[in-house]
Amino acid sequence: MLMLEKRAQPSKAWVYAAPILAVAITMIVGGAVFAMLGKPPIEAIRTIFYDPIFGDFASYSRPQLLIKAGPLILIAIGLSFGFRAGIWNIGAEGQYIIGAMAAAGTGLAFYPMEARWLIFPLMIIAGLAGGMLWAAIPAFLRIRFKTNEILVSLMLVYVAEAIQASMALNLLRNPDGHGFPGSRNLSQYSSSANLELIANSGIHWGVMAAVTAVVFAYFILARHRFGFDVRLAGQSPRAAGFAGVDAGRLIFICMLISGGLAGAAGMFEIAGPAGRVSIDFNVGYGFTAIIVAFLGRLHPVGILIAGLLMALTYIGGELAQLSLGLPGAAIQLFQGMLLFFLLAVDVMTSYRIRFGKTE
Partner 1 sequence: MDFSSINPILLLASLMVAATPIILAAAGELIVERAGVLNLGVEGMMITGAITGFIATVTTGSPWIGFAAAAAGGAGLSLLFAFLTQILLSNQVATGLALTLFGLGLSALLGQGYNGIKAPEFGKIDIPVISDIPVIGPILFSHDPMVYVGIGLIAGIWYFLKYSRAGLVLRAVGENHEAAHALGYHVIRIRILAIMFGGACAGLGGAYISLVRVPQWTDGMTAGAGWIALAIVVFASWRPWRLLIGAYLFGGVTVLQLNFQAAGIAIPVEYLAMSPYIATILVLVLMSAGRAPGSLGKIFHASR
Binding residues for partner 1, per CB under 8 A?
4-6, 88, 90, 141, 145-148, 150-152, 154-159, 162-163, 165-166, 169-170, 287, 290-291, 294, 327-337, 339-340, 343-344, 346-347, 350-351
Residue 31 identity? G
CB closer to partner 1 out of 53 and 339: 339
CB closer to partner 1 out of 58 and 141: 141
Smallest distance from the beta carbon of 7 to partner 1, in angstroms? 11
Phi, psi angle pair for 355, to nearest 5°: -95, 120
Smallest distance from the beta carbon of 195 to partner 1, in angstroms? 31
Which residues make Cβ contacts (< 8 Å) with residue 182, sequence separation at least 6? Answer: 168, 173, 174, 276, 277, 278, 279
Residue 346 identity? D
CB closer to partner 1 out of 270 and 331: 331
Secondary element (H or E) of residue 339: helix 328-345
CB closer to partner 1 out of 55 and 327: 327
CB closer to partner 1 out of 35 and 215: 35
Smallest distance from the beta carbon of 103 to partner 1, in angstroms? 20
The rounded distance, in Å, linking the Cα atoms of 181 and 318 is: 26
The rounded distance, in Å, linking the Cα atoms of 85 and 207 is: 26
Smallest distance from the beta carbon of 229 to partner 1, in angstroms? 21
Q: Taking a C-beta distance cutoff of 8 angstroms, is the pair 62, 52 a contact?
A: yes
**Calculated CA dihedral for residues 124, 126, 128, 133, nearest 10 degrees:** 180
Axis-axis angle for helices 300-324, 205-223 (nearest 10): 140
CB closer to partner 1 out of 120 and 341: 341
From the CA atom positions of the chain, what is the Rg in Å? 21
Enumerate the β-bridge partners of residue 354. Answer: 3
Smallest distance from the beta carbon of 324 to partner 1, in angstroms? 15
CB closer to partner 1 out of 94 and 273: 94
Which residues make Cβ contacts (< 8 Å) with residue 286, sequence separation at least 6? Answer: 75, 91, 92, 93, 94, 95, 96, 157, 262
Smallest distance from the beta carbon of 149 to partner 1, in angstroms? 10
Smallest distance from the beta carbon of 152 to partner 1, in angstroms? 5
